[in-house]
């Protein structure tokens, strides 16, 4: 499932820059947008940035950090994906989802993949997110991953790779929609030269998919969004989705279960609920079967789902498929279930339960990223190149004592995108991409673009939204062409060899690849973590 | 609508009213204590604390009384506590409130939590708080759609109002301060001018009769009962189930007050007690009919 | 020993200190139809009455779930089953250490080899590691299993009331007293310590010399099945062959996977009503 890293891992490799090619020529794709931004100028961009902040503030587009609500910083430079690039991402995401759906149906059913020995049973059964309580629950339209956010990065060669799968409660989609509205509001000029695929149909698609997942005998299903409450960091998104789908935003105490039917307490009496789009973690969902101390869930809901009277979306137990120890096997799963070659490759990953791979990792720990396999949020992540000797020694002890709980990856350098930095200058910053996909049982809709997260501070080691990370409006551009085109000759008087905008390249060498990796990884991991464990929620 | 949301609106209405009524009452009472020292401060403080169901901790200066009743966020019987409770309810339904409503409430909350300069001139400071609460009420009044949520909020406000007028009348300003007391009672309900316009001379008995039975003043118990009844009928029209007992409670109170013959002073006191009792029963019934059992249940094994 | 047809009446429940408005419960009291055992009939009655939903859980047990929404101070449960048990199977030689320790086998039964809340790894406990060592020196897993049973019986004396349902294998070992659940957990910890896949079996036990038609007091029982190229049952509590007197209800890693009755309720304290099991050979 993995290959040993080339010795090139010793030397830092320049990141792939999405605007400028390695020989310094700009990519033509960015010409129109960059020309517009250049003509607005640094001081103009500062004005727009203030307008943006006012807009976000006025519309209450925030995430909650501690007790405070803050706007999520949105960069003014859109990230551009050509339709050819997007086609590949879309096809790759859909393929991966189909395989992961099949895998979940299998491990919560016949267990064919285990009997065939494709994947060690020990990895599946030892996953903290493998819920035996969910075994044998079939879903009305065979969908378990109603909403997914498969995180991609672009490697040094510009190839998109899957960094991790998020199949439980991926969040951030509200920012995708808000970013587009915000950018169109404060920087309408940049849209002039491109046909950008719209993102605003997402709520409708989601609602359709949730209705399609309802128990089949229900003709007019009632859908609700279940939130852990106002203190959850992603509460804004929960209200956003409920409002845009036109459904109730409920808390666990608004619902109760009786004889396998779930009801919502309303002032007109109990009202049956058929689909629960829950944004609380599995563990808190049903105190009968899972965490007995949960006050956020609905006692009896698992048996109601088993009886086919209510659909829980995403399904219970999906976490076994996005466990990092399973991740290295996903390419195999694609071949096994679909008989296809993976379209989007993984990042090389070492299975530390394999003695040979473990030995290799331990010998090259200073060049590895070591991640705990079931936790997310950056907890316990060790970046080899930037770690202290003591941290490396501890990581080695951890890996040796419980290899199942960790994976290791060679350091990958994320791609960079032009980004507005201090003083309105434009400089490269590292980005990742989370495309959101909605499965309605017949089709998988991949929201064109997705959430690009960007490491805003130069030289800073942390990018998660709580510490200065931001996002970018991400465009899928209908250019009718495949992958990136060569630079054209006539877009600039100076010719295509001059770095542009002026000074863009000047700052791009300041950060070591490992530093970038560290930041972005930390942000990645934060996404599907129950950041507010005590409240059982899943933050942005 | 969700019971939890309805409950938040109901309590938002109650707490805003409680805060406002307490501010008015405290301001007037404080004024009396300062101006007319014929009543010992300890006694004067004790009667107000008792009326508001607050423990008497030996408060014996007007200044201390203000400090105790402005209170803290943790006790919803105090002004700061009621405003804070109103704000938490508003936060839970922020999506359904106008931005202005939340902001107005938030600014009242922040002013109180930062500590207004009560020490220097409590009267002015209390007036500032009152102004902010008036803004909240004003914004609510002209931004909220007249939907189910609104009716729950009005119902909460009117039931609280009946209770607060009852508490006000349980303090015999007219007996403690025979000359200035009756006017203070009216002023504490914002009712002095309307009373004077009706052409009556201020006596203790007439002031009390006015706050119970007047047909037009919005803080008379009779008008509150009629408004509460109207709110319940509004809820019924919008499909709120199971409200017949509640309607009976507020409707009977309204008709009793509406069809009362000119009562004696003693009968007025009975009306006050009955109205408070009815408001309390109506509150219980609101809980039972609409909100019951949505609270957090702790499960045992 | 011939097979038997048994009727089992299992009564249990809870009494609550305060009125309970709602409770959610799951019952695992239905004998399996498997390996020669055949379930002929089964009824479950609960009071206050409630509709019952049933399903098969991950471990293959038949689960009956119900929730009660009328205020109640007592929950009573009566399960009546009729089942045919098979005669004692003929002796079958077990497999070798090599077969049991094969990585494929170890992965296939990984869940029955790992430690759990109740069953720790005996090889890690100085008090028991020496037994695991000696077991590994036996000529085959079967002999090792017999040694495990022997050591458990030598160490733990049967004594009700000292341990409870939450007692772990390590605690039972230290206390030296216990009931069938403790004997079973302790045996599992030794077997798994030696790398022998082993599972907890919950069920009923009939008497040694039954009279047809005469109800006798039976008991909820627990014993062990271990794998050596096939499943073998051993009853460490009684040190007797597992045959027609044993009725299998559920299997799992430990007690937590197979509790006969579990549930949650809103309010006050509860106490168990006690358990009575009556078995009649038909």
The C-alpha atoms of residue C282 and residue A466 are separated, in whole angstroms, by: 71
Q: What pLDDT is attached to residue C65? A: 96
Residues B36 and B149 grouped into a single domain: no
If asked whether residues B160 and B279 sit together in one domain, one would say: yes
pLDDT of residue A537: 33
Q: Which pLDDT belongs to residue C231? A: 94
Please indicate, yes or no, if residue B181 is contained in any of the structural domains: yes
pLDDT value for A522 = 37
In a 10 Å sphere around its CB, with 0-12 CB exposed, 13-18 middle and 19+ buried, how is residue A39 labelled? exposed
Here the tokens at position A538 are: 């899943």
Q: What is the DSSP letter of A253?
A: G
Chain A adjacent subunits, 3+ CB pairs under 8 A: B, C
- Tell me which chain C residue has its CA closest to the CA of residue B295: C266
CATH fold of the domain at C4-87+259-281: Immunoglobulin-like (2.60.40)
Predicted confidence at residue A198, as pLDDT, reads: 94
Distance CA A92, CA A482 (A): 16
- State residue A505's pLDDT score: 53
Minimal Cβ distance to A120: which of C50, C59, C107: C107
Show the domain range for A529. Answer: 7-198+341-347+412-535
* Chain C residues in contact with A299 (beta carbon < 8 A): 22, 24, 67, 264
Answer whether residue B273 shows pLDDT above 70.
yes
Determine the 3-state secondary structure of B139 from DSSP: helix
**Quick check: A502 pLDDT over 60?**
no
Average pLDDT for residues A93-112, to the nearest whole number?
A: 97
How confident is the model over A147-158, as a mean pLDDT? 92
Rounded Cα–Cα distance for residues A294 and A297 (Å) = 6
- Chain B residue whose CA is closest to C261: B301
Least confidently predicted of A407-416, A502-511, C73-82, C188-197 = A502-511
Overall domain count for chain A: 1
| 3-class state of residue C15 by DSSP | strand
Which pair of structure tokens corresponds to residue C4? Answer: 């038997």
pLDDT tens column, C24-72: 999 999 999 988 899 999 999 999 999 999 999 999 999 999 999 998 9
DSSP tag of B287: I
Alpha-carbon gap, residue C235 to C243, rounded angstroms: 10
Spatial separation of the C-alpha atoms in residues A312 and A285, rounded to whole Å: 10
- Reading the block at residue A498, the tokens are 């001059």
Q: Would you say residue A523 has pLDDT above 90?
A: no
pLDDT of residue A232: 82
The pLDDT of B105-111, averaged and rounded, is 83
Q: From CA B9, how far away is CA C270, in angstroms rounded?
A: 37
- Give mean pLDDT, residues A340-346: 97
CB B12 within 8 Å of CB B5: no
| Residue B254, helix vs strand vs coil | helix
DSSP A487: P
What's residue A69's pLDDT? Answer: 62
Residue B111 has a CB neighbour count (10 Å cut-off) of 17
Beta-bridged to residue A420, according to DSSP, are A426
Q: Compute the average pLDDT of residues C219-229.
A: 94
Q: Select the more confidently predicted residue: A315 or A14.
A: A315
Instruction: Count up the domains in chain B and report the number.
Output: 2
Go through chain C and tell me how many residues it has: 282
B148 is written with which tokens?
């189910």
Class of domain C97-207+215-256: alpha beta
Give the Cα separation of A516 and A513 in Å (integer): 5
Between A218 and B114, whose confidence is greater?
Answer: A218
Quote the mean pLDDT of chain B: 89
What count of other Cβ atoms lies within 10 Å of the Cβ of residue C268?
12
Instruction: Please give the pLDDT value at position A517.
Output: 38
B299 found inside a domain: no
Distance CA A481, CA A29 (A): 11
B216 and chain C: CB distance < 8 Å anywhere? no
Q: Is the dihedral of CA A95, A101, A104, A105 positive or negative?
A: negative
Q: Are residues B164 and B239 in the same domain?
A: yes
Instruction: Pick the range with the lowest mean pLDDT from A458-467, C35-44, C166-175.
Output: A458-467
User: With contacts defined as CB-CB under 8 Å, which chain C residues touch A125?
Assistant: 110-111
State the Cα–Cα distance between residues B179 and B35, nearest whole angstrom: 12
- Per-residue pLDDT, averaged over A139-162, amounts to 94
Tell the burial category of B148 from Cβ atoms under 10 Å away from its Cβ (0-12, 13-18, 19+). buried
For residue A122, is pLDDT > 50?
yes
Decide if A235 is inside a domain.
no
Q: Give the pLDDT confidence score for residue A504 in this predicted structure.
A: 66
Confidence of residue A346 (pLDDT cuts 50, 70, 90): very high
Which tokens is A137 given?
């629950």
Query: Which residue, B125, B143, B161, sits at the end of a domain?
Result: B143
Residues B59 and B136 both lie in one domain:
yes
Q: Are C260 and C202 in contact (CB under 8 A)?
A: yes
Q: Mean pLDDT check: name the lowest of A141-145, B120-124, C130-134, C250-254.
A: B120-124
Q: What pLDDT, on the 0 to 100 scale, is given for residue A68?
A: 63
Mean pLDDT confidence for A490-507: 45
Q: Where are the domains of chain C?
A: 4-87+259-281, 97-207+215-256
Residues in contact with A481: Cβ distance below 8 Å, sequence separation at least 6, in sequence order: A82, A83, A84
pLDDT higher than 80, residue A374:
no
| Residue C7: closest CA among C209, C280, C256 | C280
Our CA-based measurement puts residue B243 at a distance from the nearest CA of chain C, in whole angstroms, of 23
d(CA A293, CA B53): 36
- Quick one: pLDDT band at residue B120, thresholds 50, 70, 90? low
pLDDT of A506 higher than 70: no
Distance between A483 CA and the closest CA of chain B, angstroms: 43
Strand segments, DSSP code E, in chain C are 4-20, 23-27, 38-47, 53-56, 62-68, 72-85, 157-158, 177-178, 198-205, 216-227, 231-234, 246-252, 261-266, 270-272, 276-281
* Residue A528 confidence (pLDDT): 36
Of the two residues A256 and B200, the one the predictor is more confident about is A256
Whether the CA torsion A270, A271, A274, A276 is positive or negative: it is negative
Question: Residue A97, SS3?
Answer: helix
Contact indicator for C1, C277 with CB cutoff of 8 Å: no
Asked whether residue A299 is assigned to any structural domain, the reply reads: no
Q: Using CA atoms, how far apart are residues A524 and A412, in angstroms rounded to an integer?
A: 14
Residue A498 has pLDDT above 50, yes or no: no
Partners of C277 in the beta sheet? Answer: C10, C218
Asked whether residue B77 is assigned to any structural domain, the reply reads: yes
pLDDT at B98: 79
Q: Using N-to-C axis directions, what is the helix angle for B181-188 and B3-35, rounded to 10°?
A: 150
pLDDT for the residue numbered A530:
29
CB contact under 8 A, B241 and A265: no
Q: Is B241 on the interface with A (CB under 8 A)?
A: yes
SS3 (DSSP) at C257: helix
Contacting residues for A321 by C-beta, under 8 A, at least 6 apart: A100, A103, A104, A107, A145, A165, A167
Question: How far apart (Å, rounded) are the C-alpha atoms in residues A87 and A80?
Answer: 13
The encoded tokens of residue C140 equal: 């085959």
Shortest CA gap B295–chain C (Å): 12
Question: How far is C71 from C48, CA to CA, in rounded Å?
Answer: 9
Residue finishing a domain among B143, B165, B182: B143
| Mean pLDDT (whole number) for B72-93 | 89
Q: Which residues of B touch A256 (CB under 8 A)?
A: 293
The per-residue b/e assignment along C227-249, b for 16 or more CB within 10 angstroms, e otherwise, is bbeeebbbbbbbeeebbbbbbbb
Helix (H, G, I), strand (E, B) or coil at C11: strand
pLDDT at residue B115 above 80?
Answer: no
My answer on whether B3 and B81 are in the same domain is yes
Q: Are residues B156 and B76 in the same domain?
A: no
Cβ-based neighbours of A470, under 8 Å, separated by 6 or more: A72, A73, A74, A75, A453, A454, A456
Kindly give, in sequence order, each residue whose CB lies less than 8 Å from that of residue A438, ignoring residues fewer than 6 positions away: A146, A147, A202, A205, A206, A209, A444, A445, A447
Structural domain for B266, as ranges: 145-294
pLDDT at A490: 37
| More confidently predicted of A491 and A364 | A364
Tens of pLDDT, residue by residue over B182-209, are 999 999 999 999 999 988 889 999 999 9
Rounded mean pLDDT, A174-199 = 92
Within a 13 Å sphere around the CA of C244, how many CA atoms are in the beta-carbon half? Answer: 16
Do A135 and C110 make contact, defined as CB atoms within 8 angstroms?
no
Alpha-carbon separation of residue C90 from B131, C232, C243 (angstroms): 92, 11, 10
DSSP A511: S
pLDDT at C92 (0 to 100) = 82
Contact pairs from chain A to chain B, CB under 8 Å: 52
* Start-to-end Cα distance in chain A: 31
CA distance A62 to chain B (A): 13
Contact B298 C263 (CB under 8 A): no
| Structure tokens belonging to residue A480 | 């009718």
**Residue carrying structure tokens 């408060």:** B59
pLDDT greater than 50 at residue C136: yes
User: Which pLDDT belongs to residue A13?
Assistant: 67
Closest A-chain CA to B88:
A230
The arithmetic mean of pLDDT across residues A298-315, rounded, is 96
| Chains in contact with B, where contact requires at least 3 CB pairs less than 8 Å apart | A, C
Contacts of B292 (CB under 8 A, 6+ apart): none
Q: Choose among B206, B150, B119: nearest CA to B12.
A: B150
For strand A248-250 and strand A223-226, is the pairing parallel, antiparallel, or unpaired?
Answer: parallel
> What is the greatest pairwise CA distance in chain C?
60
> Which 8-state DSSP code applies to residue B177?
S
**Among residues 263-282 of chain C, which lie with CB inside 8 Å of chain B?**
263-270
Which residue, B110, B143, B176, sits at the end of a domain? B143
Element (H, E) at A51: helix A31-58
Q: Would you say residue B88 has pLDDT above 60?
A: yes
Q: Which residue has the higher pLDDT, A460 or C263?
A: C263
Q: Which of C24, C26, C110 sits opposite A121 (nearest CB)?
A: C110
The pLDDT score that the predictor gives to residue B52 is 94
């Amino acid at each position: 499932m993995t290959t040993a890293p080339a010795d090139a891992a010793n030397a830092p490799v320049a990141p792939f820059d999405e605007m400028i090619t390695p020989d310094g020529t700009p990519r033509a794709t960015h010409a129109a947008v960059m020309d517009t931004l250049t003509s607005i100028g640094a001081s103009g961009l500062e004005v727009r940035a203030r307008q943006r902040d006012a807009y976000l503030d006025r519309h209450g587009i925030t995430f909650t950090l501690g007790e405070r609500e803050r706007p999520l910083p949105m960069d003014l430079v859109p990230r551009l994906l050509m339709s050819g690039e997007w086609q590949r991402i879309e096809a790759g995401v859909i393929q991966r989802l189909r395989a992961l759906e099949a895998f979940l149906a299998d491990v919560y059913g016949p267990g064919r993949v285990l009997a065939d020995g494709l994947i060690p049973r020990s990895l599946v059964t030892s996953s903290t997110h493998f819920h035996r309580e969910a075994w044998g629950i079939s879903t009305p339209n065979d969908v378990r991953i109603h909403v997914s956010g498969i995180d991609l990065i672009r490697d040094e060669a510009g190839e998109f790779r899957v960094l991790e799968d998020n199949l439980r409660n991926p969040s951030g989609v509200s920012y995708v929609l808000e970013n587009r509205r915000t950018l169109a509001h404060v920087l309408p000029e940049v849209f002039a030269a491109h046909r950008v695929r719209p993102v605003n149909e997402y709520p409708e698609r989601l609602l359709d998919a949730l209705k399609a997942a309802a128990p089949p005998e229900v003709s007019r299903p009632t859908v609700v969004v279940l939130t852990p409450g106002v203190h959850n960091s992603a509460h804004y998104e929960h209200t956003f989705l409920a409002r845009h789908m036109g459904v109730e935003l409920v808390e666990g105490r608004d619902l109760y279960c009786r004889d396998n039917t779930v009801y919502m307490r309303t002032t007109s009496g109990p009202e049956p609920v058929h689909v629960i789009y829950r944004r609380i973690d599995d563990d808190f969902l049903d105190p009968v079967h899972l965490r007995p101390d949960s006050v956020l869930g609905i006692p009896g809901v698992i048996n109601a789902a088993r009886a086919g009277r209510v659909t829980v979306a995403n399904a219970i137990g999906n976490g076994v498929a996005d466990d990092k120890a399973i991740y290295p096997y996903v390419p195999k799963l694609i071949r096994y279930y679909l008989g296809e070659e993976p379209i989007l490759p993984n990042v090389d990953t070492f299975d530390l339960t394999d003695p040979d791979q473990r030995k290799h990792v331990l010998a090259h720990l200073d060049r590895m990223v070591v991640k705990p396999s079931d936790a997310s949020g950056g907890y316990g992540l060790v970046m080899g190149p930037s770690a202290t000797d003591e941290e490396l020694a501890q990581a080695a002890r951890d890996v040796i004592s419980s290899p199942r709980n960790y994976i290791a990856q060679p350091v990958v350098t994320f791609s960079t995108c032009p980004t507005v930095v201090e003083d309105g200058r434009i400089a490269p910053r590292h980005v990742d991409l989370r495309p959101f996909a909605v499965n309605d049982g017949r089709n998988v809709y991949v929201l064109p673009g997705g959430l690009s997260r960007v490491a805003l501070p130069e030289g800073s080691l942390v990018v998660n939204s709580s510490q200065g990370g931001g996002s970018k409006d991400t465009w899928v551009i209908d250019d009718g062409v495949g992958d990136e085109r060569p630079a054209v000759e006539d877009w600039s008087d100076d010719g295509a060899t001059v770095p542009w905008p002026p000074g863009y390249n000047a700052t791009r060498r300041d950060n070591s690849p490992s530093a970038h990796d560290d930041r972005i990884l930390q942000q990645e991991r934060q996404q599907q973590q129950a950041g507010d464990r005590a409240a059982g929620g899943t933050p942005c | 609508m969700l019971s939890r949301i309805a409950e938040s609106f109901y309590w938002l209405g109650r707490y805003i009213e409680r805060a406002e009524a307490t501010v008015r009452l405290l301001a007037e009472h404080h004024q009396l204590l300062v101006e007319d020292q014929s009543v010992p401060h300890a006694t004067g403080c004790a009667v107000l604390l008792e009326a508001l169901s607050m423990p008497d901790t030996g408060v014996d200066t007007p200044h201390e009384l203000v400090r105790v009743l402005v209170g803290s966020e943790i006790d919803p019987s105090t002004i700061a506590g009621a405003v804070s409770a109103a704000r938490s309810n508003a936060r839970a339904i922020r999506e359904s409130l106008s931005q202005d409503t939340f902001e107005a409430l938030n600014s009242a909350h922040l002013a109180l939590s930062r500590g207004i300069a009560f020490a220097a001139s409590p009267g002015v400071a209390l007036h500032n708080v009152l102004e902010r609460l008036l803004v909240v009420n004003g914004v609510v009044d002209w931004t909220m759609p007249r939907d189910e949520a609104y009716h729950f909020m009005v119902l909460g406000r009117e039931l609280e109002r009946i209770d607060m007028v009852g508490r006000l009348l349980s303090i015999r300003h007219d007996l403690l301060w025979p000359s200035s007391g009756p006017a203070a009672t009216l002023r504490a309900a914002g009712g002095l001018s309307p009373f004077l316009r009706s052409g009556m001379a201020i006596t203790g008995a007439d002031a009390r009769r006015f706050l119970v039975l007047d047909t037009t003043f919005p803080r008379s118990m009779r008008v509150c009962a009629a408004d509460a009844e109207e709110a319940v009928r509004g809820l019924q029209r919008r499909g709120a189930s199971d409200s017949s007992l509640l309607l009976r409670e507020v409707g009977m109170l309204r008709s009793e007050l509406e069809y009362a013959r000119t009562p004696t002073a003693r009968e007025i006191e009975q009306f006050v007690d009955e109205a408070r009792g009815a408001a309390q029963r109506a509150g219980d019934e609101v809980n039972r009919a609409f909100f019951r059992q949505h609270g957090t249940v702790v499960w045992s094994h | 020993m011939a097979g038997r047809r048994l009727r089992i009446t299992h009564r249990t429940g809870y009494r609550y200190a305060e009125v309970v408005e709602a409770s959610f419960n799951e019952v695992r009291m239905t004998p399996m139809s498997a390996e020669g055992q055949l379930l002929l009939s089964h009824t479950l009655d609960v009071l206050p009455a409630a509709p019952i939903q049933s399903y098969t859980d991950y471990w293959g047990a038949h689960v009956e779930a119900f929730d009660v929404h009328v205020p109640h101070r007592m929950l009573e449960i009566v399960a009546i089953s009729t089942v045919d048990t098979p005669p004692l199977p003929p002796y079958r030689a077990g497999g070798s250490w090599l077969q049991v320790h094969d990585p494929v086998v170890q992965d296939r039964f990984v869940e029955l080899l790992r430690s759990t809340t109740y069953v720790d790894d005996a090889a890690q406990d100085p008090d028991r590691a020496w037994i695991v060592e000696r077991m590994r020196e036996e000529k085959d897993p079967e002999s090792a299993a017999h040694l495990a049973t022997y050591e458990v019986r030598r160490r733990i004396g049967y004594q009700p009331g000292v341990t409870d349902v939450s007692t772990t294998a390590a605690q039972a070992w230290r206390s030296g007293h216990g009931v069938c659940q403790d004997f079973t957990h302790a045996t599992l910890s030794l077997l798994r310590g030696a790398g022998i896949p082993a599972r907890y079996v919950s069920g009923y036990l009939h008497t040694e010399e039954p009279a047809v038609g005469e109800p006798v007091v039976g008991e909820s029982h627990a014993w062990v099945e271990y794998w050596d190229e096939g499943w073998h049952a051993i009853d460490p509590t009684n040190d007797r062959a597992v045959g027609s007197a044993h009725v299998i209800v559920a299997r799992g890693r430990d007690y937590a996977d197979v509790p006969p009755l579990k549930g949650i309720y809103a309010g006050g304290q509860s106490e168990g009503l006690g358990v009575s099991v009556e078995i009649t050979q038909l």
